[in-house]
Structure 1
Amino acid sequence: MDSPEFQLDWDRERRTGVAEAVFCQGKSPDQIECIVEAALTDGRRLLLTRLSGAAHATLRTGTQDVLDYDPSSSTAVLGGGIALAATGIGIVAAGTSDMAVAREAQRTLAFGGHRAEIIADVGVAGLWRLLARLDELRACRVLIAVAGMEGALFSVLAGLVAAPVIAVPASVGYGVAEGGKAALSSALASCAPGLVVVNIDNGFGAAAAAIKMLRAAG
């Protein structure tokens, strides 16, 4: 039974194509415990995002035991994994520092049954690294690109592939690039047609957009 503090939207996947997920940042341990208990009672699978290692450590041992927790992406899955299909989604990370956001996207896709490889450390500082993977990139139906600093990867990638590119500015950088604002501005101001942009560090949102694109394409 839902608490007055939350209402789980189990109909969301049928209605929108994207399953219910719980954003844990800002929620108390008791609130997270109640949400997990409600999902368990209903026999539902559930994705939890932005669940920090510190927050995960405060959960009761019994709750931790039923969650598949991944500290590298700050995500947890209740209900176990499902068979993954190669549906044509790829993830590109400009640098190793962008991997947390890329893995959040990957885990979100896996929760929905989509297998997605991460092509990592292919930022434009060494353009040959990206070009060496171009055949793989061009085989994808949708690409999620994660980059911080100046975010130049977004325009370069979108100018090389036919697939739609979803840009995820990452809060990686310092000075004028601090907090991902420079990468966000770069993505929004890109001259590469067909580039779409989600919020800073929003790997979950990028994955949801990719799922919707494939759903719309049939």
Structure 2
Amino acid sequence: MKKNELLIELEHVAAHKITPQQAANKLSKTDFTELNYAKIDTAREKRTGYSEVIYGAGKTAAQICGIASVMKKQGQSILVTRVIPEKAVKIQKEFPDLDYDAVAQIMTLNPKKSVHIGEIAIVTAGTSDIKVAEEAAITAEFFGNHVTRIYDVGVAGIQRLFAKLEVIRQAKVIIVIAGMEGALVSVIGGLVNQPVIGVPTSIGYGSHLNGLTPLLGMLNSCSAGISVVNIDNGFGAAFNASMINHLAVKEKIK
């Protein structure tokens, strides 16, 4: 319970509007719903502005349906990440209104139909990075952001990047997704004045080490203004970008 809510309850007790026991009952609320395999944080959106997200990998279809059922009953938006097609088929038998994107492997239900604001550019080095990019793009759109997709503009043919540079510069925050050596993040970081979020991917040959090489390359970038999320973490990049984008729009409105 937030501090101002606590004060309100205490004031109600002082004014004899409620009893101390009633106040104690309200203060003792856990703000989560417990299933035998999960504790669903039903107060997260009120607390942070973003509802709980279901990480689908490692959960059974039945478990995902159980969590989604609780969230849906409470009118919450539902975002499920890392859902393989076979599992999605089982889930949609119980929840046909959950949309599924097979590329991003994401399921969504957004009854609020949030207005999309600002601009997030999602840039990939290669076509092989699109799976991670679509996880980021759909997540960002789900959280109410305009998204511009700019795919396959890696440093091996850098003229492709320069052709899209003005479009990229119009965004308030840029997500750059790259495998191999991850050089695209440093290049873009040195060409723009927006925050850049780097996403290393597990795309590449032997010494690429399943994403470790681009991860370390991005962390060691000499371009300022770059932050880096974990390997293949399109969701994490989009979440961070959404927070930056919404803050930027709020400041502009002021």
Instruction: Please say if residues 147 and 153 of structure 1, whose CA atoms lie closer than 8 Å, have aligned partners that are also in contact.
Output: yes
Q: Which residue of 2 aligns with 1:62?
A: 94
Q: Distance in 2 between matches of 1:84 and 1:74?
A: 23
Partner of 1:3: 35
1:22–1:150 CA distance, 2 compared to 1 (3 A):
same
More divergent stretch after superposition (37-46 vs 157-166): 37-46
Secondary structure in 2 matching 1:87: strand
Q: Unpaired runs of 5+ in structure 2? A: 1-32
Gaps of 5+ in 1: none
Aligned with residue 107 of structure 1, among 138, 151, 161 = 138
Alpha-carbon shift at residue 20 of structure 1 (Å): 1.7
Kindly indicate whether residue 69 of structure 2 is the aligned counterpart of residue 37 of structure 1.
yes
Q: Which residue is 1:12 aligned to?
A: 44
> Within the alignment, does 1:183 sit opposite 2:214 as a pair?
yes
- Where do 1:149-188 residues align within 5 Å? 149-188=180-219
How far 1:23 moved relative to its partner? Answer: 0.3
Residue type of the alignment partner of 1:177: H
Aligned equivalents of 2:110, 2:191: Cα separation in 1 = 39
Q: Residue 173 of structure 2 is aligned with which of 142, 162, 181?
A: 142
How many pairs align? Answer: 217
What does the per-residue CA deviation read over 1:193-218, in whole Å, with 9 as the maximum and x for residues that have no partner? 11100001111100111122234443
How big is each residue's C-alpha offset from its partner over 1:155-203, in whole Å with a ceiling of 9 and x where there is no partner?
0000000000000001111201141111101100100011100001111
How does the TM-score come out when normalised to structure 1?
Answer: 0.93
Task: Say which structure, 1 or 2, has more relative contact order (CA 8 Å, 6+ apart).
Answer: 1
**Are the aligned partners of 1:146 and 1:170 in contact in 2 as well (CA < 8 Å)?**
yes
Instruction: Give the CA deviation at 1:139.
Output: 1.2
Q: TM-score, normalised by structure 2?
A: 0.80
Residues 172 and 178 in structure 1, CA contact (< 8 A), matched pair in contact too: no
> What do the CA deviations read for 1:62-106 (whole angstroms, capped 9, x no partner)?
32x121000100100024572542412111011111001111111
Q: 1:55-94 maps to which residues of 2 (within 5 A)?
A: 55-59=87-91, 61-63=93-95, 65-80=96-111, 82-94=113-125
SS in 2 for 1:101: helix
Write the distance in 2 (CA, Å) between the matches of 1:200 and 1:135. 28
Q: Percent identity?
A: 41
